[in-house]
Structure 1
């Protein structure tokens, strides 16, 4: 049995959950690699990645390379003498990096591969109305999320679950999968399975402003999945137009109510405490939202200070 000396690579909160589990299970972490600090938010204040914050807290050796192919970084990586690298939500690695440790480099991906390869698997599983998803560990190769699979764990997706809620559950499930994978590698008991591309392979495209915008001409259930699949981040959005006023509005907590009606898709219906948007087969009831320049608020708070006309439209 070979004692593991691990280099961990990751950036966001999701990766921190996995790194913490490895740390608490007393594996030797000889180095942590994360993204360089960068300006964020309105004030462009320089911020550290969630993984960097954790590594500093635990006094772990930290590397923040800007270029993964630079000789300076590669020499420093070699000097750590790792025999295994674990990657969670980082970036594509050059071959010289993932081939470096003798036990290989494995990645944890938040989907049941080969489905939802790509940048945003948690979001797209919900947006597409999937009833199940999971996590997969696999050895990295020269393409994105295509390597030989080590193990996977499956879970149901609740019909009203948001991306944020699923993120937290998959972080725990992923922690279990990584610890089981480490045990297999440590004992030399790994048996991999090649990914089989049967039927339609769905892709977890990178999220951008365009694919986060709501299309009110779709069915209510599709719109509802879109909103919860982007909640709380980066959030689905829509324009709301009332006379000469037009706002770019983010929607968060919502419900879909199926119903027959004669309203135009996208029409706003409001009372003193409730805001609904008509779809072709019902209504999206909006419970929380955010107007530009304002904080996220409950709908009833917004309606205390604003009155919409009967001709207000979301589009």
Structure 2
């Protein structure tokens, strides 16, 4: 098949590799423009662009798509059988959705219709899901509302972080994309509509999503959000009027550990730095106070001489 590929981050790289390995023709790769990154803010090429350059593929990095007449003319000249869209980061306009005979095929990192939106992997973990996966679908004008094509499920362990799921799901997604293209070509995959009543949103993450809010959330919720939002926006609160980051956290499974009177309260006991959530404690293993280096729980307790009743807000 003739496949135009649209993708930007590392998550999309295995999909492009798989499309090429399967023998499909890729006449064009669309990816986002180079962006400044790092301490020196030097321009960095997206991972998909780097792979496309290595493979000698034609690359375009348009800032805009909807009204881009040059891009439209080029795609209409190519007449692709399918357009694969994997974490591209751009809304696909109607004219582009209608162009390929098999449509624009998206690899989405959730079991649709759950977790429609920009951060499905992070929110699935943050909400304590025990299972996630990849869904391939035909894009339409809505937000991840198109007809589903293929679904692959994988478990989420009780301590798994979203950062661990990204490479797993990118590999699973690459296989699913190839199966989907093959099934569309042979007519063995039938699109099926999503059940909108089961839909939930996974909006783009904000800094505030990482706030601990120990007085509002259960210990399980605090820990799940830490797993889902690691490394960004992370887990943080305010301690002694300064930003307090939690780099490593653990569940407290020892039933002999006593709760503290007030949510948000922290104490150092038997070599453990404990923080009280709404229904019980969690354990902070590695922390950092604004302006200071990362440190272990023991280093923090010794260096800051915790007072009884002190809290992380």
Q: Does 1:250 align with 2:245?
A: yes
Aligned partners of 1:23, 1:292: CA distance in 2, in Å?
A: 47
Kindly provide the CA deviation profile for residues 176-196 of structure 1, in whole angstroms up to 9, marking residues without a partner as x: 211110111222333111111
Aligned partners of 1:275, 1:314: CA distance in 2, in Å?
A: 12
CA shift, 1:278, in A, is: 2.0
Find the counterpart in structure 2 of residue 236 from structure 1. Answer: 235
Q: Does 1:28 align with 2:28?
A: no
- TM-score norm. by structure 1 comes to 0.88
SS at match of 2:178: helix
SS at match of 1:203: coil
SS at match of 2:151: strand
SS at match of 1:231: coil
Find the counterpart in structure 2 of residue 76 from structure 1. Answer: 74
Aligned residue-pair number: 306
Cα gap change, 1:275 to 1:26, in 2 (>3 Å): farther
Aligned partners of 1:50, 1:9: CA distance in 2, in Å?
A: 12
Find the counterpart in structure 2 of residue 17 from structure 1. Answer: 14
Aligned to 1:60, which of 57, 60, 71? 57
How do 1:1-315 residues align onto structure 2 when only pairs under 5 Å count? 4-69=1-66, 70-90=68-88, 91-198=90-197, 200-217=198-215, 218-241=217-240, 246-257=241-252, 259-270=257-268, 274-292=272-290, 297=294, 299=296, 303=300, 306-310=303-307, 311-315=309-313
Paired residues of 1:149 and 1:193 also in contact (CA < 8 A): yes
Paired residues of 1:274 and 1:299 also in contact (CA < 8 A): no
CA shift, 1:98, in A, is: 1.8
Aligned partners of 1:53, 1:240: CA distance in 2, in Å?
A: 43
Cα gap change, 1:308 to 1:14, in 2 (>3 Å): farther
Cα gap change, 1:300 to 1:100, in 2 (>3 Å): same
Aligned partners of 1:275, 1:26: CA distance in 2, in Å?
A: 55
Paired residues of 2:287 and 2:297 also in contact (CA < 8 A): no
Gaps of 5+ in 1: none
RMSD: 2.3
Paired residues of 2:107 and 2:136 also in contact (CA < 8 A): yes
SS at match of 1:15: helix
Gaps of 5+ in 2: none
Q: Which segment is superposed worse, 256-265 or 121-130?
A: 256-265
Paired residues of 1:231 and 1:253 also in contact (CA < 8 A): no
Kindly provide the CA deviation profile for residues 91-135 of structure 1, in whole angstroms up to 9, marking residues without a partner as x: 220011121122211101111111110010011111111111111
Paired residues of 2:210 and 2:234 also in contact (CA < 8 A): yes
Q: Which segment is superposed worse, 303-312 or 29-38?
A: 303-312
CA shift, 1:46, in A, is: 2.1
Paired residues of 1:272 and 1:303 also in contact (CA < 8 A): no
- TM-score norm. by structure 2 comes to 0.89
Kindly provide the CA deviation profile for residues 203-253 of structure 1, in whole angstroms up to 9, marking residues without a partner as x: 101110122211111110010011001112332222222xxxx33233233
Aligned partners of 1:289, 1:63: CA distance in 2, in Å?
A: 43
Kindly provide the CA deviation profile for residues 37-60 of structure 1, in whole angstroms up to 9, marking residues without a partner as x: 122345432222221222222222
Cα gap change, 1:55 to 1:272, in 2 (>3 Å): farther
CA shift, 1:81, in A, is: 3.6
